[in-house]
Amino acid sequence: MKRILFILLFAATAHAQEALDFFPGGTYDPKIPPPKSVLGYSIGERFTEYAALNAYFDKLSASSDRIRRIAYGETNEKALQSNEDA
């Protein structure tokens, strides 16, 4: 019984790690940088710190006229709080 549970758990984990194609067959604007090109890793591979996430949003807003960053405040540590408006 334990062996069967282990096999099922292993199979589920292996399936969950397959790459996800968000929009199969869709076309993407080459001007928009994928997260891996800015962060150096794919989303979900490791934890993304706040500063790195902000850097990616800065690149997105600079690359497209369809997204803009709106600053609405700052944290107690003087970090920018913003909203990405698409």
Whether 11 is covered by a domain: the verdict is: no
Whether 21 is covered by a domain: the verdict is: no
Cβ pair 83, 60 in contact under 8 A: no
Tell me which residue range forms the domain holding 86: 30-86
DSSP assignment of 32-50: SPPHHHHHSS-TTSS---H
Radius of gyration of the chain (CA): 18
Strand partners, 83: 70
Triad 45, 75, 46: Cα angle to 5°: 5
The number of domains in the chain is 1
Instruction: Kindly report the pTM of this predicted structure.
Output: 0.62
Q: 33-57: per-residue pLDDT in tens? A: 989 999 999 888 999 998 898 899 8
Whether 20 is covered by a domain: the verdict is: no
Whether 6 is covered by a domain: the verdict is: no
Q: What is the pLDDT of residue 40?
A: 94
